[in-house]
Structure 1
Amino acid sequence: FIDEKRDEYSHENNGDVTGFDYHYPLKNKFDSIYNHYKDLKNQHFKQLQNNLKHNLDVRQAIIEELKSLIDNPGESIQDTLKSVNELRERWKNAGPIPRDKYNHVWNNFHFHIERFYDHLHLDREARDLDFKHNLEQKQKIIARVEELVNESDVTKAFRELQSLHKIWKEEIGPVSRENREELWNKFSELTRQLHDKREALVAKAKEKEEENLAKKKEIIAQIEAVSNETITAHSAWQGQIEKIEALRTAFFQTGKVPQEVNEDTWTAFKNAVRNFNAQKNSFYKDIKKDQQDNLNKKLALVEKANALKDNDDFNVTTPIMKQIQEEWKKIGHVPRKYSDSIWKDFKDACNHYFDRLHAKRNEANSEEIEAFEKKKDYLEQLKDFQLTGEHKADLDAIKLHIENWKGFGRVPHARRHIEGKFNKILDALFDKLSLSKKEAEMVKFNNRLEQLADSDDSRKLENEQIFIMRKIDEVQSEIFQLENNIQFISNAKADNPFIKEINKNIDRHKEELKTWKDKLKQIRSLKQQE
């Protein structure tokens, strides 16, 4: 995130980032937690080193005690054997020591254990019994290692081998001199065989990692190639975003690379994606700037319309108000959060003026009063109208009612609510017919257009056209937003319920968009006939 902000700053300052300073509270919180983690980590490893040193001191003390038992015998053989076994048990439980000291310390301890047995002059029977027990334990280990050599899971077998080596060295004492070399050689040979299998596995894994490295380098090159393409349209950028998402997915699905180049590979990938994102963000930042410019232009028109809405010189003001409406239609999108409010302000100002104009022109219009009375009576008759169930006949009957209604003429502006009552009855009738939603919508819309066309106020058709164009913009923006949302959902499958719901919503909006475009085409056709 901060890298993107730095790139934006660089873009705005011709590549200079010397003055970049971005305060990101979440980053500060992360730094605090991360520093605390590092402190705990350092304490842990410091304690670990102290423990290793302590364990080394304990083991060296055990060796000294063992040497003392051998060099200064003062107990019975049984007591001495008991003491040696206690030392061996303490040795087993003494814990790990520094890795570079392990072999020397273990060889030293083992040397004195063998020395103890070799210089034992009394109670040979006890010594031989211990040798026999140790021999049996080491033979069991060898038998188990023979099984591990044939184990299919080499990694698992190797881990167990390491554990068996520890038991061999730490927990089992020496065997008789005549068995020592043969037993150790056999154990060592089996260990070598298992090591060879593991090295072969590691070599194969290394080969696979090299293949993965080549694949990831190719993916990075493709990302860089996409970034170098010149894109100037939103739809084209959406295509580029899809390409990058596919390449990112392929990168993450590719396996490990050699450890020594892992960091460099990851950095190259991040830089390639970041470069693409910087160009994408720059493009959309320019779009936002254009929308802000459009907002300023529309705000100026709103201010102008408000200044004229109460003017009584209708002959002078009406052409100006119409010109303002024309200018409004030529201005592009504004930021989404201002779209509804600024349109409402502009529409209210225009409606206020033209309502006053309309009221002035329709004072004492006796013909409109007569038309109102006829329509009122006709509404009463319509209450008794029933559909027959025959689709075509019913549709023709409804259309005839519409023609009759239009034949009565216009009503006074103050009484136009009667049109709403008629339209409400039409809605109920259309709902009962098996018309598609779009068919019914277009029939009602054509009726509305003819009503508007009959009005002597041309701004009604203008306002309707502006309204439809605005709805088209809104639906297109909604489709864009929904499609954009899908791009930010990584690794989601097509049958994901959430993705399916979004796609269903997109299809619904596209159908709605088609209806609005058909309406726009219809109203433009009507205006050309005037």
Structure 2
Amino acid sequence: MSEKDNLHNADGNEDLNSKAITTAETVADNQDASTQESTPSEETETVQPVEEHSETIDTTETADTTERGENATSDTTNNSEAATSIKNDAHVDEIEESNAEDAEDEGNVERHSIEDKDYHAMSMEQLADEFETLLKTKKVQTIKSHVDEIKSEFNSKFSEILDEKKEEFLSEGGNEIDFFYSSPLKKRFNALYKDYKNSLNAYYKTLETNLKANLENRLRIIEDIKGLINVEENINTTYKHFKDLQEEWRNAGPIPRDKYNNAWNTYHHHVEIFYDFLHLNRDLRDMDFKHNLDQKLKIIDRAEELAKDDNVTRAFRELQVLHKMWKEDLGPVDKEHREAIWERFSNATKTIHDKRQAYYADVDKAHEANLQKKEAIIAKIEAIAKDDLSSHQAWQNKIKVIEGLRTEFFNAGKVPIKVNEATWAKFKSAVRTFNKKKNSFYKGLKKDQYTNLQKKLELIKIAEDHKDSEDFETVTPLMKKIQSEWKEIGHVPRKDSDKIWKRFKAACNHYFDKLNAERNAANKGQVEAFEKKTKLLEELKELQLSGTPEADLETIKQKTEEWNAIGPVPQNKRFIEGKFGKTIDGLFNNLKMDKSEVEMIKFENKLEHLSQPEDTRLLDNEHHFIRKKIDEVRGEINQLENNLQFFSNIDETNPLVKDVLNNIENHKENLAVWEEKFKKLKELY
């Protein structure tokens, strides 16, 4: 026997807590437990309404038999009053409307169990992925609200990109009528949406046919129940026939939502009339009344438990199921209990309704806070858009800041629906203003880069035209000049940068490689001289003097002559001459001879090295240096002699005067050496 059989079986043995209430809990547990719930919205693709059935509740209708009498009229009136009470309660209307929507298809539970996500914070790629997942894993009739929100967010983000691409196109001189932009991601999304619409249309086409058939079947069942009171047969047979019709009603399938309440109210009206008719067999009626009362009391107990639940979304979803069971699975109770149990059930429903309204009031407050965040972000973007930037780096930095603010905007959460479009439009306008200024800057920058490109192409032509030249004396300065000019020219378009640099570098390298090869051949002797001098320098560093001045002086002279005989070294290797001079000076300093004499020997040795016929610049430099030293020493002597005038009344034995006199004498000896050096130097000119 099915659960529905048990729920309506007159013996009342079925435990609602173990099955019916558990069913309600299971359904509710499968609902979306997120903190925000969408208010059910009407489907865009509505099923065409079926023709209104003429059958409505007639509260004045009575049976032809005298047995119904006042009881039937009283029960019918009482039922009408209850219906009026229910109709006037907003908290019950909310449940009824939601259940009516769910009754139109069999995906109601799944629709409520789909997780609500923050589509606003998702990227276009994530939105497309989410759309595809819904299509593959959920029934098409259950995902409309999610698809609508995904589509709205995707189109808004794509519209922003489209505006930016259009602005770039126009800034580069394009004609607005010629603008077109798409992307693989947009094509993918459009294909997904087309599949969705095709599947949804096919579903509704089938559903429309089924809804009409189910409605006709249910209206036929109502007519059959109405006819039971006029059938002359055993009451037990009639009662069994009635129970079969009830089971047939429960299995009749969904009907159009706009016919839902009227059909169910008409059905309940005639069911109650039948129960009034059953007063001829009170045992059967009372068993049903008792069973229905027990089950409704259990539903009330569960509803009162839900009224204490802090998860208002879950409580509301399970309450929907309880109302559906109350209305669709259970029949009437004795009229003496009807008002009391409905009052309890209605009160529990109102408590949940009020908590739900308070919850949405808090959600509205959160949305208002999100609106303030987004307005602050928009204000920052507008302020940045007013900045006048003049460099590529400055714009790149601001672009990163704008990207960060865009991310903040999308992550700030939902705003009140009434200002959602206006807020989004204001955000796009601020970003568009920034992008226009950015594109204007880069338009001018691209123009400059194109000019720079032409300049560098001209330099490339010069380099390539002269890369094979053997007129090194003329071309080498030219090649160095264009290399310097290349560095002074600014940026070129990125797509051309690497390509033209490689061409220019290849031409220059080709020329200088050829030049270096030529010089290496000419300087081969200088390279060999450098190698010999390097070896000789190492020997000098290890040389040990004998201690005999004449012999040691001859040794130093021989090594110097040997060094000079080797010849010049390459220009970039002349540092070795300085090392040689320091080494020779060290050897001279170790000679046991008069310092002045040693100094002159060192100088004569130096002159031999400086007097190279191919380069007189070294002698010129030395000439200038000695003249400068002579002038400095003379100046110091004059200064010291002037200082002596302050000691005219002091004895020359005075330590201070004596020190000045000694200092003057030392400077004069030093001056004599420099003058002798100058004399030797003049002899070479």
Q: CA deviation at 1:237?
A: 2.1
Larger Rg: 2
| Residue 11 in structure 1 maps to residue 133 in structure 2 | no
Q: For residues 180-218 of structure 1, give each alpha carbon's deviation from its aligned partner in whole angstroms, at most 9, with x where no partner exists.
A: 222222222322232222222222222322232233223
Amino acid at match of 1:193: T
Say whether residues 1:294 and 2:452 are aligned partners. Answer: yes
Verify the 8 A CA contact 2:278 2:284 in the aligned structure 1: no
Asked if the contact 2:395/2:438 (under 8 Å) is kept, the reply is yes
1:239 correspondence with 2:397:
yes
Taking the aligned partners of 2:445 and 2:238, their CA distance within structure 1 comes to: 90
**One-letter amino acid matched to 1:187:** F
- Residue pair 1:305, 1:350 contacting (<8 A) in 2 also: yes
Q: What residue in structure 2 maps to residue 109 of structure 1?
A: 267
1:347-384 per-position Cα deviation (integer Å, ceiling 9, x unaligned): 33334334444555565547414335438969x99xxx
- 53-62 or 368-377: bigger deviation: 368-377
Other-structure match for 1:39? 198
Deviations 1:367-408 (A, max 9, x none): 414335438969x99xxxxxxxxxxxxxxxxxxxxxx9xx99
Cα 1:289/1:95, change in 2 over 3 Å: farther
Note closer, same or farther for the CA distance 1:371–1:68 as it changes in structure 2 (3 Å cut): farther
Letter in 2 for 1:165: H
Distance 1:316 1:61, change over 3 A: same
1:260 equivalent to 2:403? Answer no
Which residue does the alignment assign to 1:305? 463
Deviations 1:402-451 (Å, cap 9, x if unpaired)? xx9xx9974599xx9xxxxxxxxxxxxxxxxxxxxxxxxxxxxxxxxxxx
Distance in 2, Cα, partners of 1:106 & 1:261: 39
Deviations 1:458-491 (A, max 9, x none): xxxxxxxxxxxxxxxxxxxxxxxxxxxxxxxxxx
1:319 pairs with 2:485: no
Distance in 1, matches of 2:173 and 2:208, equals 50
- Is the 2:167–2:439 Cα contact (8 Å) retained in structure 1? no
- Aligned residue for 2:329? 171
Q: Following the alignment from structure 1 to structure 2, what is the Cα–Cα distance between the partners of residues 178 and 63?
A: 26
CA–CA separation in structure 2 for the residues paired with 1:154 and 1:245: 37
Displacement after TM superposition at 1:311 (Å): 3.0
Match of 1:190 among 319, 337, 348: 348
Structure 2 CA distance for partners of 1:185 and 1:29, relative to 1, 3 Å: closer
CA 1:78 to 1:279, structure 2 compared with 1: closer, same or farther past 3 Å?
farther
More deviation in 353-362 or 195-204? Answer: 353-362
Query: CA distance change for structure 1 residues 364 and 311 in 2, over 3 Å: closer, same or farther?
Result: closer
CA contact (8 A) 2:171 2:439 kept: no
Whole-angstrom CA distance in 2 between matches of 1:218 and 1:358: 65
Q: Measure the CA separation in 2 of the matches of 1:47 and 1:178.
A: 45
Q: 2:595 maps to what in 1?
A: none
Any unmatched runs of 5+ in structure 2? 1-160, 540-562, 574-614, 616-685
The equivalences for 1:359-438 within 5 A come to 360=518, 364-365=522-523, 367-371=525-529, 373-374=531-532, 410=569
State the identity as a percent.
Answer: 54
1:218 aligned to 376, 385, 391, which one? 376
3-state SS of paired residue (2:229): helix
Change (3 A) 1:13 1:242: closer
The answer as to whether partners of 2:449 and 2:493 remain within 8 angstroms in 1 is yes
Unaligned runs of 5+ in 1: 382-403, 417-455, 457-530
* Alpha-carbon offset, residue 286 of structure 1: 4.3
Native 8 Å contact 1:219 1:247 kept in 2: yes
Q: CA deviation at 1:28?
A: 4.4
Give the letter aligned to residue 295 of structure 1.
Answer: L
Q: For residues 126-171 of structure 1, give each alpha carbon's deviation from its aligned partner in whole angstroms, at most 9, with x where no partner exists.
A: 2111111111011111111111121111221111111101100100
Cα shift at 1:105: 1.2
Number of the residue aligned with 1:446: none
- TM-superposition CA deviations, 1:307-343 (whole Å, max 9, x none): 1233344443333333222221211233455544433
| Structure-1 residue corresponding to 2:308 | 150
Q: Verify the 8 A CA contact 2:172 2:443 in the aligned structure 1.
A: no
1:266, CA displacement in angstroms?
A: 2.7
In 1, the alpha carbon distance for the partners of 2:409 and 2:173 equals 33
- Aligned partners of 1:4 and 1:274 also within 8 Å: yes
Q: Is the 8 A contact 2:457 2:500 kept in 1?
A: yes
- The question of 1:84 aligning with 2:248 is answered no
Q: CA contact under 8 A between 1:91 and 1:170: conserved in structure 2?
A: no
Offset of residue 274 of structure 1: 4.0
Give 1:102 deviation, angstroms. 1.9
Instruction: Report the equivalent of 1:21.
Output: 180
Give me the whole-angstrom Cα distance separating, in 2, the residues matched to 1:170 and 1:219: 52
**CA drift at 1:115:** 0.6
Cα distance 1:232–1:365, how it changes in 2: closer, same or farther (>3 A)? closer
SS at match of 1:230: coil
CA distance in 2, matches of 1:276, 1:90: 67
- Equivalent-residue separation in structure 2 for 1:376 and 1:287 (angstroms): 56
Distance 1:244 1:21, change over 3 A: closer
Match of 2:414, SS state, is coil
Distance 1:271 1:85, change over 3 A: farther
CA distance in 1 between partners of 2:363 and 2:304 (Å): 25
| Structure 2 CA distance for partners of 1:140 and 1:114, relative to 1, 3 Å | same
Which of 212, 220, 225 is the aligned partner of 1:66? 225
Contact 1:131 1:176 (C-alpha < 8 Å) held by counterparts: yes
Q: Find the aligned partners of 2:289 and 2:193 in 1 and give their Cα distance.
A: 55
Residue 18 of structure 1 aligns to a residue whose secondary structure is helix
Task: In structure 2, give the amino acid aligned to 1:66.
Answer: I
Structure 1 stretch 287-296 or stretch 77-86: which is displaced more?
A: 287-296
Distance 1:39 1:185, change over 3 A: same
Secondary structure of the corresponding residue to residue 120 of structure 1: helix
Q: 1:120 aligns with which of 278, 288, 291?
A: 278
Structure 1 residues 373, 204: CA separation in 2 closer, same or farther (over 3 Å shift)?
Answer: closer
Q: Give the whole-Å Cα distance in 1 for the aligned partners of 2:365 and 2:527.
A: 93
C-alpha separation between the residues in 2 aligned to 1:337 and 1:173? Answer: 79
Measure the CA separation in 1 of the matches of 2:453 and 2:568.
41
- For residues 23-56 of structure 1, the C-alpha deviation after alignment (integer angstroms, 9 at most, x for no partner) is 6565445434433332323333343343333332
From the superposition, tell whether residues 91 and 377 of structure 1 become closer, same or farther in structure 2 (CA, over 3 Å). farther
Offset, 1:7 = 1.3
The SS at the match of 2:461 is: helix
CA distance in 2 between counterparts of 1:188 and 1:408 reads: 118
Verify the 8 A CA contact 1:89 1:171 in the aligned structure 2.
Answer: no
TM-score by length of 1: 0.65
SS of structure 2 residue aligned to 1:71:
coil
Partner of residue 318, structure 2: 160
SS at match of 2:177: coil
